[in-house]
Structure 1
Amino acid sequence: MGGADASDHLEERFERAFEPVAEAVEAGRIPGAVLGLVDAAGTRMLRAVGHAQTVPMKRAMAVDSWFDLASLTKVIFTTPRILAYAQAGRIDLDAPLISVLPDLRQYDAGAWERRVTFRECLGHQTPFPSVEPIYTYGRDPELLQAFILQREWRRLEKPVYSDINFILLGFAMERLEGRRLRMFDAGPGFAFSAPPENCAATEDCTWRHRILCGEVHDDNCSALEGAGHAGLFGLADAILGFAHDLMRGDAEGDVAVSLMRTPLSEKRTHGWERPYEGWSGGALCSAGTIGHTGFTGTGLWIDFEHGRAWTLLTNRIHPTRHFDSGIATLRQMVGDRISQA
């Protein structure tokens, strides 16, 4: 598709996809949201609805509100950089992490953690537990990092999606660059904190004892003062720009984008999710779509075959995560309305 017809068609998709977002806000299931859509030509649409914050004061949501992207950090920040290291020959994706982190479980040469590879971590094909309250062991980031590297981790029988995979990838990035992740250049429209007056608020944190706004929500990332699995903040327009760059890279045969599209399991590629029954991107996208979500209520999906990408950013955990926001159903509805013929 091309020209004015393409823009009109994109607008129709956007309008019908925005309807359930506005309804979710009106019903009080989420405080606010920004929906964005971009096509392969770079045409973009953005719209905001609701509130960026409701407690202890109300602030309106805007298209230029910053969001705590949570696990979108994995695919927007960490995955591209790990794949770039591989392309540059600085790492081998099939080499164990100890090729960069030789001190991982250094007191047990036969430990299974020492055999885990970069590719397995990218595809969540390791037996690490899905989640671990690392922050409860203290708030000294150097000591916590040593704890993570030396801990004898509980080994699951089957691989699951695990933050530990990307925490370790983040450690490897720090070793390769000789600086902490928060000192990395996150790119235009991305950062590791955000101005509170222009940021979507997240949770009333039970251990930091305040509404979080502009500081990372993820407990482990906060305690580590930066990690590879979470911590990135971003603007909706910057996310659409990132997605458009991937679509353009795919058209140009970029090796890293090809790996992001290459399946490693029924549900995963290098870093990303791929379509499966009940996944977040809906049932109507092409088989070549990749996507990812974030706990704070964020998400990004890229349909390479149909030449479009969309992001749904919400503050669904404000002021608490202990509430059924209906975010899973909303994501699927948005995806289906964008993909609908």
Structure 2
Amino acid sequence: MIARNVRAVVEQGLADGLFPGAVVRVVRAGEEILFDAWGMAEITPEQRPMRTDMWFDLASLTKVMATLPAVLRTLQAGQIDLHAPVQRYVPLFTQPDVTVFHLLTHTSGLLAWLPMYLRAQTPEAIYRHICERVRLEATPGTRVVYSDLGFILLGCLLEAVWNKPLLEVFNEQVFEPLGLDQTFFTPTHLKRTELVATEVGNAHERKMCADYAPAAEIDAFPWRTETLVGEVHDGHAWYGMGGVSSHAGLFSTARDVSRYVEMWAAKGGGYLEEHWVRLATTLHTVGIGDARGLGFQLYEDGAFGHLGFTGTSLRLHPATETQVIALTNRVHPHVQTDLAAWRRALHAAAFQL
């Protein structure tokens, strides 16, 4: 029944043109209920069918599949304090009242987005821009504003605390101990046929820049115009961070995303102490905006998870012990309609008793 209903929702999404293709995996109480692929991985300039073993640009799933566990392991190791000011670890940061907790809960007061990459094209330049030039829009702890800048700053913090490049931190603290051997940044070793396409160029972000910079500066920027395959879609991750960032840039398969979610289903599974699992999935933003744990978005049905702009999502429903990994390429060839209603239908079908 569950598999049939989930299939119907996915097929309706394809019929409605919400995305060219999708891979969905549903697991309940450790048993695979559904794992299948639909539609196309690419429609222009090539036409390639979707397969379950393909790699997706996970976009903001990076925040909870790389940065969140790395920060939690750093907390668990006693290397940082959750309620300490970020400035303790990143002295260059000019906002003394912003804590690690504020960054994780998106309550720092930092902007949601700013096209820093128009003028800052190295990780160091991006970090410096956030630390020295960005001012807060709200008092820390008073409002939820989902912020890429906040999670980029967490990457700067991780590098400073571990005194290693961000990629090494993620490999040592997350991917290797969790056995995520299909999860990585800059997948240059993969063939095009193994990767799912995203947008044709960066037309969507180029339009977003119009509110932040003169038209001449935007027009002179070296925007990508080809279909993006194996190159991170996000502008900051690509133009500013060399493909490796703490807010976006991760590529993975549905099976590896599912393997990661299984750690949360197992309440840490020996990787995280249960205390940190509870804290990450507890509501910390009552009365100030979206329901947020540490990193995760929380939902009224008791589930928690996260979304990625490219059309990806992961969600775990503890009450029914059900996980749903739904990876689509909704930005191919151009940014499609929001998937909120479709996701609600998908999860309702998957979490039914």
Q: CA deviation at 1:178?
A: 2.3
Q: Which moved more, 1:248-257 or 1:233-242?
A: 248-257
1:184-230 CA deviation, whole Å, 9 max, x = no partner?
41432211033232111111124122211111111011122222111
Pick the aligned partner of 1:214 from 213, 230, 240.
Answer: 230
Paired with 1:290 and 1:198, the residues of 2 have a C-alpha distance of: 29
Q: CA deviation at 1:77?
A: 0.9
Quick check: 1:275 aligned with 2:299? yes
Q: CA deviation at 1:269?
A: 0.5
Pick the aligned partner of 1:190 from 183, 186, 202.
Answer: 183
Q: CA deviation at 1:152?
A: 3.5
Q: CA deviation at 1:135?
A: 1.4
SS at the partner of 1:172?
helix
- Could you tell me which runs of 5 or more consecutive residues in structure 1 were left unpaired when the two chains were aligned: 1-11, 106-112, 277-285
Letter aligned with residue 313 of structure 1: L
SS at the partner of 1:36?
strand
Letter aligned with residue 229 of structure 1: H
- C-alpha distance 45-243 of structure 1, shift in aligned 2 (>3 A): same
2:282 is matched with 262
1:217-271 CA deviation, whole Å, 9 max, x = no partner?
1101112222211111111011111111211125886222111211111410011
How many residue pairs get aligned? The number is: 311
Q: CA deviation at 1:127?
A: 0.9
| Identical pairs, percent | 32
Q: Which moved more, 1:157-166 or 1:235-244?
A: 157-166
SS at the partner of 2:314?
strand
SS at the partner of 2:22?
strand
Quick check: 1:297 aligned with 2:311? yes
1:163 is matched with 148
1:310 is matched with 324
Contact 1:171 1:227 in 2 (8 A): no
- C-alpha distance 21-88 of structure 1, shift in aligned 2 (>3 A): same
Cα RMSD of the aligned pairs, angstroms, is 1.8
Contact 1:128 1:159 in 2 (8 A): no
Normalized against structure 2, the TM-score is what? 0.83
SS at the partner of 1:208?
coil
Contact 2:127 2:152 in 1 (8 A): no
Paired with 2:132 and 2:111, the residues of 1 have a C-alpha distance of: 15
Paired with 1:243 and 1:14, the residues of 2 have a C-alpha distance of: 19
Q: Which moved more, 1:307-316 or 1:176-185?
A: 176-185
Pick the aligned partner of 2:247 from 229, 236, 258.
Answer: 229
Quick check: 1:121 aligned with 2:127? no
Paired with 2:4 and 2:280, the residues of 1 have a C-alpha distance of: 29
Quick check: 1:242 aligned with 2:227? no
Quick check: 1:203 aligned with 2:199? yes
1:151 is matched with 133
Paired with 2:138 and 2:227, the residues of 1 have a C-alpha distance of: 35
Letter aligned with residue 199 of structure 1: L
Paired with 1:54 and 1:176, the residues of 2 have a C-alpha distance of: 43
Q: CA deviation at 1:165?
A: 1.2
Letter aligned with residue 328 of structure 1: A
- Could you tell me which runs of 5 or more consecutive residues in structure 2 were left unpaired when the two chains were aligned: 203-222
Letter aligned with residue 172 of structure 1: L
Letter aligned with residue 118 of structure 2: T
For residues 77-156 of structure 1, the aligned pairs below 5 Å read: 77-105=66-94, 113-156=95-138
1:181 is matched with 166
Paired with 1:239 and 1:102, the residues of 2 have a C-alpha distance of: 34
Paired with 1:88 and 1:65, the residues of 2 have a C-alpha distance of: 34
Paired with 1:153 and 1:171, the residues of 2 have a C-alpha distance of: 17
Letter aligned with residue 162 of structure 1: S
1:29 is matched with 18
Contact 1:203 1:320 in 2 (8 A): yes
Paired with 2:31 and 2:149, the residues of 1 have a C-alpha distance of: 35
Q: CA deviation at 1:44?
A: 5.6
